[in-house]
Structure 1
Amino acid sequence: MALNLDSLIKSIESLSQSLQASKDISVLDLPSNIKDTIRAGVIQNFEVCYEQSWKMMKRWLEENVGSSYVDGVTRRELFRVAFENKLIDDVDRWMDFHKSRNETSHTYDQATAEEVFSDAEFFVEDARFLLQAIEARND
């Protein structure tokens, strides 16, 4: 059964658009509070896109590999199975994204925001890779 990928597609688009907006405003002479608000939007879109990505990854693996391989496993193990099935290309990088996602939930300071914002720029490409891999085998 083919998975409905709409939520993943929309979350990747939103993250991409917010990242582009942050690049567009970086050259403008705007007050820092406006720039901070746009960066906060990038971080929020990163959070949503990350959640959509790993959940879609898990659904695809359940449908195509078997739920016994992914139910109740750690996130690292889930990413390892996804790597073995060519949905992602770097388990450690996805663990770093997971760490960044967790940091946004528990602490929020400027240093954390900068780190997560930086990760969001790398994450969007990996999310696109995941989407393409699932689309290619979504039947």
Structure 2
Amino acid sequence: MIDYSKLQKSLKHLELQYANYCNAQHRPELTELDKEGIAESTIQRFETCYDTLWKTLKRYLVEELGIPEVPNSPKPILRLAFENQLFVSPIEQWLCYADARVNTAHDYDEKKAAECLALLNDFIDDAIGLYQTLTGNTWE
């Protein structure tokens, strides 16, 4: 049986920190350094959630769908999940999330950070949808 608690926790933390990031832009008492720290923390939460998501998805493909040979890297796993109709969004959207994860792992320049942050609302919605598909539970 697959334990989904790590995925749930990482997704909940991302959801909360992303809300904090969105609200920080309207809080005049925060310095630019504070806002930058919140943005960086939000990106780190995304990285953790994304990594947990694809690893959980791999287990699901093997243990629940019985796919015998599943690669050990995110993009092939995302493609297999799409082929098995686990996503509502197009595969291209999920591949954008994968690219954002790779980009933030190597460089936190402002442009890449902004691109990642711009994807997070959709990523959170898609990740919640996937969580519900995998677990059969409603997101709270």
With the length of structure 2 as denominator, give the TM-score of the two structures: 0.88
Q: Equivalent residues in 2 for 1:3-14 (5 A)? A: 3-14=2-13
Name the counterpart of 1:131. 131
Name the counterpart of 1:27. 26
Counterparts of 1:130 and 1:69, CA distance in 2: 21
Counterparts of 2:87 and 2:69, CA distance in 1: 16
Name the counterpart of 1:119. 119
Q: Equivalent residues in 2 for 1:1-139 (5 A)? A: 2-29=1-28, 30-71=30-71, 75-89=74-88, 90-136=90-136
RCO comparison, higher one (Cα < 8 Å, 6+): 1
Higher helix proportion (structure 1 or 2)? 1
Per-residue CA deviations over 1:13-61 (Å, capped at 9, x if unaligned) read 0000001111222111121110110011110000000001111111000
> Is residue 57–residue 87 contact of structure 1 (8 Å, CA) maintained in 2?
no
Counterparts of 1:17 and 1:111, CA distance in 2: 23
Deviation at 1:131, TM superposition (A): 0.4
> Is residue 75–residue 98 contact of structure 2 (8 Å, CA) maintained in 1?
no
Deviation at 1:67, TM superposition (A): 4.1
Counterparts of 1:41 and 1:107, CA distance in 2: 14
With the length of structure 1 as denominator, give the TM-score of the two structures: 0.89
> Is residue 104–residue 116 contact of structure 1 (8 Å, CA) maintained in 2?
yes
> Is residue 14–residue 42 contact of structure 2 (8 Å, CA) maintained in 1?
yes
Letter in 1 for 2:8: I
> Is residue 79–residue 91 contact of structure 1 (8 Å, CA) maintained in 2?
yes
How many pairs does the alignment contain? 135
Counterparts of 1:69 and 1:126, CA distance in 2: 25
Identity among equivalent pairs (%): 30
105-114 or 83-92, which deviates more: 83-92
> Is residue 22–residue 35 contact of structure 1 (8 Å, CA) maintained in 2?
yes
